């Protein structure tokens, strides 16, 4: 019996090692192994462990796994339904890609209510996993980030409006996409199962675009949404003071998240470590002291604790912004009742990778995996 158990463990270990070879990997520890045991059957783990790094047709995966096409197609279909594999339709057939953990099967696990697994247990396991320093470093430590901050556009100064490029504007990203999908916020859904969720919306708020949106709709993880639908969500989440985090690419981004510091894994990482887990926007808030009444609203509004009230030269309480930590979202300026915070253009501008391929190639190179 012992050799059977050992063989099974070897399969899951091989899957973990395969997942960790992605540009954004998945550091192997006890929590990861528990997650994989609950999400993958032994047969699925064996298939996943032998998946090529690049999307491949069924025939190539058959060669890699040694499993016949009919049997393999059945396994892959179940894995696609579970969000463990992504099937990509092409003119001459379908390509299959093993889902990474993020952005991948973590999100797909919590973008719906599942009856086949213990959701609270999964929330606890993922929460424990994400708290490890090596995991945070793997997901968010590269110079090239997965996410970029998108500033509230209503705060962009008129004098620089014509200089702002499309990739800097959430509304323009949405318009260029032609529509997409709206789904459940995986981070806040996880927090719900832990009894830690805030009042920010969970349903129909996670914005996906392009082919990513089509896949989510196809797999029942999101609902189709028009450009107007997505713009309404953008407006609604700004009124709630949430942070817009977008896919860190210039062309055909896949998602825009509307985030809170208590639930969002990216913002929680900033709060826990003080490190840069996301590319800041190309804007930074500046305080107009003559308009500031020292109310501290901006401090309360900031999701990453980048503002503190200090005593000024005249003995008045004034907000002081940690420029190294600030991600330039504009939430503080939008909340200011005296209009005393203005968003200014940064002196050094962030230009994202052109597309997902370039983004992952940069990350892989920075981690020595290219």
Residue-by-residue DSSP string for 105-137: IHHHHHSS--SSS-HHHHHHHHHHHHTSHHHHH
Is 171 inside a domain boundary?
yes
- Indicate if 328 and 209 belong to the same structural domain: no
Supply the angle between the helices 30-39 and 2-19 in degrees, to the nearest 10. Answer: 100
- Indicate if 77 and 59 belong to the same structural domain: yes
- Indicate if 329 and 362 belong to the same structural domain: no
| pLDDT at residue number 345 | 97
pLDDT bucket at 4, cuts 50 / 70 / 90: low
| pLDDT at residue number 1 | 47
- Indicate if 223 and 360 belong to the same structural domain: yes
Q: What is the pLDDT of residues 324-368, one digit of tens each?
A: 999 999 999 999 999 999 999 999 999 999 999 999 999 999 999
Is 270 inside a domain boundary?
yes
- Indicate if 201 and 229 belong to the same structural domain: yes
Taking residues 308-312, what's their average pLDDT? 91
Q: Which CATH number fits the domain that encloses residue 331?
A: 3.30.70.20
- Whole-angstrom CA distances from 169 to 176, 247, 302 are 11, 12, 20
Is 108 inside a domain boundary?
no
- Indicate if 90 and 178 belong to the same structural domain: no
Mean pLDDT for the chain? 96
Is the model's pLDDT at 64 over the cut of 70?
yes
Last residue of a domain, one of 68, 99, 130: 99
Q: How many CA atoms lie within 13 A of 58 on its CB side?
A: 17
Q: Which CATH number fits the domain that encloses residue 34?
A: 1.10.10.10
Is 185 inside a domain boundary?
yes
| pLDDT at residue number 313 | 76
Q: What's the full length of the chain, in residues? A: 370
Asked if residues 242 and 235 have their Cβ atoms less than 8 Å apart, the reply is: no
- Indicate if 206 and 314 belong to the same structural domain: no
Q: Kindly give, in sequence order, each residue whose CB lies less than 8 Å from that of residue 56, ignoring residues fewer than 6 positions away.
A: 64, 95, 96, 97
- Indicate if 77 and 211 belong to the same structural domain: no
Is 351 inside a domain boundary?
no
pLDDT bucket at 5, cuts 50 / 70 / 90: low
| pLDDT at residue number 72 | 98
Asked if residues 224 and 217 have their Cβ atoms less than 8 Å apart, the reply is: yes
pLDDT bucket at 147, cuts 50 / 70 / 90: very high
- Indicate if 224 and 361 belong to the same structural domain: yes
Is 107 inside a domain boundary?
no
- Whole-angstrom CA distances from 65 to 60, 73, 217, 267 are 9, 12, 29, 39
Is the model's pLDDT at 6 over the cut of 90?
no
Is 8 inside a domain boundary?
yes
| pLDDT at residue number 312 | 79
Q: What is the pLDDT of residues 242-266, one digit of tens each?
A: 999 999 999 999 999 999 999 999 9
Is 289 inside a domain boundary?
yes
Own/partner pairs for 15-20, CB < 8 Å, 24+ apart?
A: 15/40, 15/45, 15/46, 15/48, 15/49, 17/49, 18/48, 18/49, 18/50, 18/51, 18/98, 19/48, 19/98, 19/100, 19/101
- Number of domains composing the chain: 3
Domain housing 75:
2-99
- Indicate if 185 and 95 belong to the same structural domain: no
- Indicate if 154 and 248 belong to the same structural domain: yes
How deeply is 73 buried, as exposed, middle or buried, from its count of CB atoms within 10 A (0-12, 13-18, 19+)? Answer: middle
- Indicate if 61 and 166 belong to the same structural domain: no
Q: What is the pTM of this model?
A: 0.95
């Amino acid at each position: 019996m012992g050799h059977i158990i050992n063989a099974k463990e070897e399969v899951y270990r091989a899957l973990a090692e395969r997942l960790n070879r992605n540009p954004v990997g998945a550091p192997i520890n006890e929590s990861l192994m528990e997650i994989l045991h609950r999400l993958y059957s032994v047969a699925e783990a064996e298939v996943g462990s032998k998946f090529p790094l690049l999307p491949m047709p069924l025939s190539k995966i058959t060669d890699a796994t040694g499993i016949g096409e009919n049997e393999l197609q059945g396994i892959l279909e179940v894995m696609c339904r579970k969000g463990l594999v992504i099937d990509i339709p092409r003119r001459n057939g379908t390509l299959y890609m093993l889902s990474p953990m993020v952005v991948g099967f973590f999100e797909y696990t919590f973008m719906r209510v599942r009856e086949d697994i213990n959701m609270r247990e999964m929330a606890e396991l993922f929460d424990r996993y994400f708290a490890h320093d090596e995991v945070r470093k793997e997901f968010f430590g590269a110079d090239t980030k997965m996410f970029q901050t998108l500033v509230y556009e209503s705060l962009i100064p008129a004098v620089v409006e014509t200089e702002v490029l499309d990739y800097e504007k959430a509304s323009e990203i949405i318009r260029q996409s032609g529509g997409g999908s709206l789904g459940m916020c995986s981070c806040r859904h996880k927090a719900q199962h832990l009894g830690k969720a805030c009042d920010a919306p969970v349903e129909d708020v996670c914005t996906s675009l392009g082919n990513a949106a089509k896949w989510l709709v196809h797999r029942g993880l999101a609902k189709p949404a028009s450009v107007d639908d997505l713009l309404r969500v953008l407006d609604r989440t700004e009124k709630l003071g949430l942070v817009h985090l977008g896919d860190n690419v210039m062309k055909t981004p896949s998602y825009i998240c509307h985030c809170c510091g208590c639930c969002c894994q990216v913002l929680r990482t900033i709060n826990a470590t003080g490190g840069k887990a996301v590319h800041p926007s190309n804007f930074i808030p500046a305080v107009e002291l003559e308009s500031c009444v020292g109310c501290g609203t901006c401090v309360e509004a900031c999701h990453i604790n980048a503002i503190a009230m200090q005593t000024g030269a005249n003995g008045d309480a004034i907000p002081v912004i940690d420029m190294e930590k600030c991600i330039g979202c504009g939430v503080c300026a939008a909340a200011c009742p005296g209009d005393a915070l203005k968003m200014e253009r940064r002196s050094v501008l962030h230009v994202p990778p052109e597309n997902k391929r370039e983004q992952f190639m940069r990350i892989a190179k920075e981690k020595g995996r290219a």
